[in-house]
Amino acid sequence: MENIENMKDIGVTFDNKLKFDKHINNKINTAYQMLGIVKRNFIYLTPDSSVVLYKAMIRSHLEYAVSVWNPHHQSLIEKLEKVQKRATKLVINVK
């Protein structure tokens, strides 16, 4: 019988110890990619349009199946919040 390190089921990656670190890191990387797309393609954002773009393109990646992989480690929570902090820096009027 072979030992499987990681497994992906319904879009959620977990390892043989039922930890979701790889999944969370993949979702954070995808969210940063989406944030880069927004930053390159939308130069002048109003606060309202930035909220719509954030919820549609970035937060949707971070919240996919969150009830399954809800992070308990402070370092993972801080990584997820860092994406949100960077997204708020795109809008000039929001601090």
Contact indicator for 4, 15 with CB cutoff of 8 Å: no
Using one digit for the tens of pLDDT, what is the confidence trace for 62-88?
A: 888 776 777 778 888 888 889 888 888
> What pLDDT does 93 receive?
56
CA distance 80 to 23: 12
Using one digit for the tens of pLDDT, what is the confidence trace for 22-74?
A: 888 888 999 999 999 988 888 777 888 888 888 898 888 888 877 677 777 88
Q: From 60, 73, 68, select the one nearest 9 (Cα to Cα).
A: 68
User: CB within 8 A of 46, min separation 6: which ones?
Assistant: 91, 93
Domain spans of the chain? Answer: 14-89
> What pLDDT does 94 receive?
53
Contact indicator for 53, 94 with CB cutoff of 8 Å: no
- What the block records as the tokens of 30 is 């995808």
